[in-house]
A and B are shown apart, each in its own frame.
Chain A
Amino acid sequence: MRPVATTRSTAGLPTGLLAVWWVVASEIVIFGGLLSSYIMYRLSHDAWAGQAANTNTWIGAFNTLVLLTSSLFAVLGHQAAEKGDGKKAARFLYYTIGGAATFVTVKALEWNMEISHGFTITASTFWSFYYTAAGIHALHVIAGAIIMAIVARDAAKGLELHRVELIGIYWHFVDIVWIFLFPLLYIAK
């Protein structure tokens, strides 16, 4: 039996696609609220500029490059799925997962360095925001990679190819969130 999301169409969209857009809409409120709160506190606390000076711009830029590249792989996977080439789509999804693994590994090393310098989540309100925002984002990266592995496994067998687009939309949104986190946490000093 095929999943409901494959066989039904609601409001002119397959149910699965509509569901992903709803997820993105709810994530806009979650991350939008978090980033807006950060901006408000950053503007009203001059001392945060000094705290932000301790983040490493090059590490942040490298991770931005990794996510942008992984987004390219995700969209190329979608393109392959649309042409019915499940194996190629799966290969691009595995490249995307490689990007996610690189991102999380670099993040872990970065946090390890910062914590060893005394910049823990309780060090100041800036660092609380830093770890909360980047941490929630990293959890989204990990969740996306896990779902992508499941989608890629099926896609390699030529099954449920429409899901390649769905996980791609989610992944691009995770990329967009980082595009805004990067200047806020690493550049505005």
Chain B
Amino acid sequence: MSEEAHGTSNYIKIWAILVVLLVLSVLGPMLGIQAVTLITAFGIAVVKAYMVAKKFMHISEAPKFITYLMVTCLVFMLLFVAGSAPDVFKSEGDNWKKTASWQYMPPEADHGAENH
């Protein structure tokens, strides 16, 4: 990485870009168009996160295995999410069904057991 990339003016320039992106992410959803909201809010969030990781954290200057480590953790986390997603999104499965009043009910206390 060049000296210029680590210069004060370059860091301030990156910060200014991040602030402009923040303004866009606030103003975009005000249009009330769902596609624009998704792009300006979440698309810009991805860009901002990438810029902070690359320009401020200098992740690209760390050994390659650091990037692999981060990606591996992300992939494993997403696997856990994918595994539990059907329970959230589906309303019924092989041996279960969600009803309108579905909620967790604790098991009833076995008062008779106290006598034994």
Please give the residue numbers on chain A whose beta carbons come within 8 Å of chain B beta carbons, in ascending order: 11-13, 17, 21-22, 24-26, 28-29, 32-33, 36-37, 40-41, 43-44, 57, 61, 64-65, 68-69, 71-72, 74-76, 79, 82, 168-169, 172-173, 175-176, 179-180, 182-183, 187-189
Contacts and interface: CB of A to CB of B under 8 A. Distances in A.
A42 B98 CA distance: 17
A25 B62 CA distance: 14
Interface string B3-18: 0001010011011001
Contacts of B18: 68
A40 B81 contact: yes
Given A21-B69, A28-B73, A40-B81, A176 B26 contact: no
Given A61-B22, A179-B45, 14 more contacts: A24-B70, A37-B81, A40-B88, A44-B88, A44-B89, A68-B15, A72-B11, A82-B6, A168-B56, A172-B56, A175-B56, A183-B25, A187-B29, A189-B29
Interface string B32-58: 000001000110110011001101110
A188 B40 CA distance: 11
Interface of B: 6, 8, 11-12, 14-15, 18-19, 22, 25-26, 29, 37, 41-42, 44-45, 48-49, 52-53, 55-57, 62-63, 65-66, 69-70, 72-74, 76-78, 80-81, 84-85, 88-89
Contacts, number: 112
B80 A33 contact: yes
B49 A176 contact: yes
Contacts of B11: 72, 75-76, 79
Specify the main secondary structure of chain A where it touches its partner: helix
B110 to A, nearest CB: 29
B41 A187 contact: yes
Nearest to B44: A183
A13 to B, nearest CB: 6
Contacts of B81: 32-33, 36-37, 40
Given A25-B70, A32-B74, A69-B15, A40 B56 contact: no
